[in-house]
Amino acid sequence: MHIRPASAVDARSLSELLNEIIALGGTTALKTLTKADMISWIVSNPAEYAFLIAEDERGEALGFQAIGPRKTLPPEACDIATFTRSGKAQLGIGSALFSATEKKAKALGYHWINATILNQNTGGQAYYQSRGFEPYKHTSERVFMRFPLH
């Protein structure tokens, strides 16, 4: 497995991966994303955002992780989104992505990372807890978890 920054060239494969996850339901509040939507997300302001992709030895996208500011968070925090190809979640993809993302978040000057997870997404909650995230807020639909960057 190889982790690298995503580029606009990856938009088609990543939007397809994400739309497969959306179609399965229950793990993301996102709605269908087009290739153009994905390009916009990938090429967001590099001084504030990082977008990393995990690939197999053939170059197939296994998953991706993105961090960036969110209007509801203070400026010292970034939000994280993690997606892995259906059926590939137990292959260490998320661990490899988070290792690279944590370094990038520190380099961008963030002090902590926020993860917002749907209450029914117990797999997502377990993933973030296994990385060291701790819940700090709950609503009827979501749990908010925090990871301090030391």
pLDDT at 59 over 70: yes
Of the ranges 24-33, 82-91, 129-138, which one carries the lowest mean pLDDT score? 24-33
User: Which pLDDT band holds residue 20 (cuts at 50, 70, 90)?
Assistant: confident
The position carrying tokens 């301090």 is 148
Kindly report the average pLDDT of the chain as a whole number: 89
Please tell me the pTM assigned to this model: 0.88
Domain that holds residue 47: 2-148
Would you state the pLDDT for residue 144?
Answer: 97
Residue range 53-61: mean pLDDT, rounded: 92
Would you state the pLDDT for residue 28?
Answer: 63
Cβ neighbors of 118 (< 8 A, separation 6 or more) are: 26, 27, 28, 29, 124, 141, 142
Cβ neighbors of 96 (< 8 A, separation 6 or more) are: 1, 3, 54
User: Which pLDDT band holds residue 44 (cuts at 50, 70, 90)?
Assistant: confident
Q: What is the pLDDT of residues 77-111, one digit of tens each?
A: 999 998 888 765 556 899 999 999 999 999 999 99
Number of domains in the chain: 1
Domain harbouring 36, CATH code? 3.40.630.30
Structure tokens at 90: 């137990």
pLDDT at 140 over 80: yes
CA distance 54 to 130: 19
Residue range 14-28: mean pLDDT, rounded: 75
